[in-house]
Amino acid sequence: MLAMLKPHNRQQYFQNDIGLYKTDAMKKHLLNINPRVTIKCHTVKLTPDSLAGLFGKADILIEAFDLAESKEWLIETWTEHFPDKPVISGNGLAGLGDFSSIKIIRS
């Protein structure tokens, strides 16, 4: 849930988003951009066990985690379950981790 907004917050949230879950606030903003889009929110903690059930029908995974450990398990779990589906991964860690543990393996 969004609390006080910090001036250096990289995400696009506003004062009237305080008290909303990030998923609900982002859905509201995306619908303001394009009201014809269909958005299904899942306000849950994503884990390796829940990944396939939540995103199994997705054609592509766009990763935006801050922590290197989270990036690692997300990409490993995705490629294990869906080896033919692409992943787009941000390489920043928002200063929150050591990215040296992330390895790129091309098949």
Residue 99 clears pLDDT 70, i.e. is over it: no
**pLDDT band of 4, cuts 50, 70, 90:** low
Longest dimension (CA), the chain: 46
For the segment 19-37, what is each residue's pLDDT rounded down to a tens digit?
A: 999 889 989 999 999 999 9
Beta carbons of 75 and 55 less than 8 angstroms apart: no
Q: pTM for the whole thing?
A: 0.63
**How far is 43 from 22, CA to CA, in rounded Å?**
8
Q: How far is CA 59 from the centre of its chain?
A: 15
**pLDDT band of 10, cuts 50, 70, 90:** low
**How far is 105 from 23, CA to CA, in rounded Å?**
31
**How far is 31 from 39, CA to CA, in rounded Å?**
8
**How far is 89 from 62, CA to CA, in rounded Å?**
6
